[in-house]
Structure 1
Amino acid sequence: MPILNISHISKSYGSYKAVDDVSFTVERGSVYGVLGPNGAGKTSTIRMIMNILLPDEGNITLFDTAMNDTLKNRIGYLPEERGLYPKMKVLDMLVFLGELHLMPREEASQKALEWLRRLGLEEQKDKKVEELSKGMQQKVQIIGSLLHDPELIILDEPFSGLDPVNTNLIKDIILELKVSGKAIMLSTHMMETAEKLCDRVMMINHGRVVLQGALQPILMDHGKSSIQVEYSGDASFVSGLPMVETADIYGNYLEVRLKEGSSRNDFIGHLLNNIEVHSFKTMQSSLNEIFITLAGEKPNE
C-alpha cells in the first residue's frame, strides 16, 4: 500500500491554475521524482501535501488517512525556501528542529551530532548558522529534515547550493534511505540527477502532468536512441541518407538519429563504405531530452 496517495488535486491562484488534476502515489523503499522547470507546479503540489495549502479539488491521504498536523511528525520535509534561524548555533538549531517533531532533547542532540559527523559538519556545531556557507546551511537543513527518522521524506530541490562532492554525498544518503525502506519524494529540475536516483517519475509543466510512470519503461518507450561515431574523412553525405532523421557533425564526431523502422546495419554499411570509423556506440535519450521533446522547453527555463 502506498504511503502517500495523491488523487486528482488542483490549485488555482486567482485565474492562474498552478496545479491541474495531478495524481500519483509514493511507495515505501522507493524514490519518486517530481520533475519539471521552475514554476511548473512542483512546490505548490508539495505545499498541499504538507497541509500548507489546501487543494481546490482532489484528495491527499498519508498512511491511508487524510492529511493532518499529527501526521507531519512522520514526514521529513526540506522546503524550497530555507528556514534556519541565522543567529542560532548549528547544534542548537538542529535540536530545536528535533523537538518540534517531539524528539526528547537528549535524543535530538545525539542524532544531530551523528548526522553532523556524517556530513562533515561536526566542527561547525558551535558556530552560528549565519557563519556557514550556503552549501553548509543546505546540509544543516537536510539534517533537520531527517533527524526524527521520518517514514516519508519530501525533498524540494535538495541539491541547491551544493558542490559536486556534497551533491554526491546527499545522493548516497538518499539511496541508503531508500534501501532502509523510507519513501522519498524528490522534487527537482535536475533531470540527470533524477535519472540516477528515481524509481518512478512524474514530469509536470505549467501545472499539468506531461508524463509519469516507472523510469526505465519511460526511457525505453519515449526515448530515441542516437548513434555516436568517431571517424576520419568527409561525413557530409550522412544527412542525405534515406534512413537518417537527424545528423550533427562536431569535428570528427558524428551524432545520428535514424528514422523509425530504419535498418542500423544499412546505415553502418554506408559509413564503412565512405569514411574510416574509429568508434561507434548507441546512446539512449536522457530524461532531459524526453522532457524537451514532450514539453517543448528545457526544464531549467
Structure 2
Amino acid sequence: METMLEVKGLNKSFKDKQVLKNISFEVNKGEIMAILGPNGAGKSTTIRNIMGIMYPDEGTVTFHNHQGKGIPQNKIGYLPEERGLYKNVKVMDILLYLADLKSYPLDKAKKRILDYLKKFDLEGKENVKMEELSKGMGQKVQFIGAVIHEPELLILDEPFSGLDPVSQEIFKDEIRSLRDNGTAILLSSHQMNLVEEMCDRLFMIQRGEKVIYGSLYDVKQEYANFKCTIRGSNERGTLETIPEVENIEQDGDVAILYLTKDVNPNRWLKQLPDDVTIQELAIDRVSLHEIFIDIATDKRLMSEEGEIHA
C-alpha cells in the first residue's frame, strides 16, 4: 500500500516532562487509521506535531516526500476537537473562506458546499450564521470545512462529538466514502464502538508510548481473548473451579470470565461444571472498548501479549 504519512521516532518534552517517547506509525492511502489513548496520553501532541502546530524535539513527520515546514497544508484536512468557526459569519462565507485558505477554486468549492449541505440535511442553511445552528449542525459545517478542498490526508479529532445517532451514520458513511476514494484518514475518538466498526488499523498510546499498533484483525486475534458472561446465582468459589479462566469479574448474578489465550470455545463450554447455574450465557471476544479500559486503567484483566505490530 502507498504510505501517505510516516511518523518516525517522535520525542517531545515540555519543561522536564516527556510527553512523546519514540512514537512511530504510518497512515496509508485509502485506509482509516485510529489513534487511541486516554486523556493525557499524547494523542493531541502527536496530531499537533503532524499538523505543524508544534515541532518535535526529535523525529520526523513525512507527507509524501515533504517534511516539517515543507509539508503542503493544502493537501491536509483537519477537524480539531475544539470547535472554532466564527459565530457571526454565514455558513457559506466561512466555508468559502476555508477553501480559499487552501487555495481551492471558489466556484468549485461553492458547488461542493451546496452538495454537502444537502447530503448533511443542511439544505437552505448556507445563509444562516453559525451562532444560529445547533451543536450538531455546527459540527457538520466544521466537517465540511475540513474536506471541502479534497485533502489527500484527513485528520479527524473526535468527529462524532455532539452528533445524534442519525448524524453519526451520515458521518460514518461519508468517512468510508472518502477512504474508498483514496483519502488517508487518521481518526481519534473515545467512542470505541465506532472506532471498532470503522477503522482498518489502530495505534494505541499510553503515557506517551506505543502500546498497540496493527490491524484491527491482528489486535483482536492476538490481544482480545475470549470472555464468557454468565448470568446466574453462583458462588465465586464455584466459578474459580472452571478451567482455562485467567480472571473473573462478578457483580451480583452476572459474572464475566476472561479466558486464557487460544482457548477453544466449543471444548471449553463442555467443561463447565454441572453445579454452575446458567440463566443466560454469552461468549465472544473482548471488545476494543474493554482493551482500551484495560490499558488506560492498568487493570490488566487480560493476558499481556506484548505489542502488536502492523
- State the TM-score, normalizing by the size of structure 2: 0.87
Deviates more, 1:91-100 or 1:273-282: 273-282
Q: Note if contact 1:210-1:295 (Cα within 8 Å) is conserved in structure 2.
A: no
1:51 matched to which residue of 2?
52
1:239 matched to which residue of 2?
239
Deviates more, 1:263-272 or 1:147-156: 263-272
Q: Note if contact 1:245-1:259 (Cα within 8 Å) is conserved in structure 2.
A: yes
1:1-301 aligned at under 5 Å gives the runs 1-68=2-69, 71-229=72-230, 234-236=233-235, 238-243=238-243, 244-248=245-249, 253-259=254-260, 268-269=269-270, 271=272, 273-274=274-275, 277=278, 280-297=281-298
Amino acid at match of 1:175: R
Q: Structure 1 residues 89 and 257 mapped into 2: Cα distance closer, same or farther (>3 Å)?
A: same
Distance in 2 between the 1:170 and 1:266 partners? 42
Amino acid at match of 1:165: V
Structure 1 alignment gaps of length 5 or more? none
Amino acid at match of 2:51: M
User: 1:56 Cα deviation (Å)?
Assistant: 0.7
Distance in 1 between the 2:30 and 2:56 partners? 27
Q: Note if contact 1:202-1:212 (Cα within 8 Å) is conserved in structure 2.
A: yes
Amino acid at match of 1:119: F
**What SS class does the counterpart of residue 81 from structure 2 fall into?**
coil
Q: Note if contact 2:225-2:261 (Cα within 8 Å) is conserved in structure 1.
A: no
**1:45-88 deviation digits (Å, cap 9, x = unpaired):** 11111111111100111012224366111111111222211110
Q: Structure 1 residues 76 and 283 mapped into 2: Cα distance closer, same or farther (>3 Å)?
A: same
Q: Structure 1 residues 260 and 68 mapped into 2: Cα distance closer, same or farther (>3 Å)?
A: closer
Amino acid at match of 1:54: Y
Distance in 1 between the 2:11 and 2:190 partners? 21
Distance in 2 between the 1:171 and 1:78 partners? 15
Q: Structure 1 residues 185 and 82 mapped into 2: Cα distance closer, same or farther (>3 Å)?
A: same
Deviates more, 1:7-16 or 1:139-148: 7-16
Distance in 2 between the 1:28 and 1:261 partners? 33
CA-based RMSD of the aligned residues comes to 2.4
Distance in 1 between the 2:263 and 2:158 partners? 41
Q: Note if contact 2:42-2:208 (Cα within 8 Å) is conserved in structure 1.
A: yes
**What SS class does the counterpart of residue 161 from structure 2 fall into?**
coil
- State the TM-score, normalizing by the size of structure 1: 0.89
Structure 2 alignment gaps of length 5 or more? 300-310
Q: Structure 1 residues 262 and 90 mapped into 2: Cα distance closer, same or farther (>3 Å)?
A: closer
**What SS class does the counterpart of residue 91 from structure 1 fall into?**
helix
Q: Structure 1 residues 129 and 267 mapped into 2: Cα distance closer, same or farther (>3 Å)?
A: same
Q: Note if contact 1:6-1:23 (Cα within 8 Å) is conserved in structure 2.
A: yes
**What SS class does the counterpart of residue 273 from structure 1 fall into?**
coil
Distance in 1 between the 2:219 and 2:150 partners? 32
Considering fraction of residues, name the structure with more helix: 1
Q: Note if contact 2:37-2:296 (Cα within 8 Å) is conserved in structure 1.
A: no
Alignment identity in percent? 39
User: 1:136 Cα deviation (Å)?
Assistant: 1.0
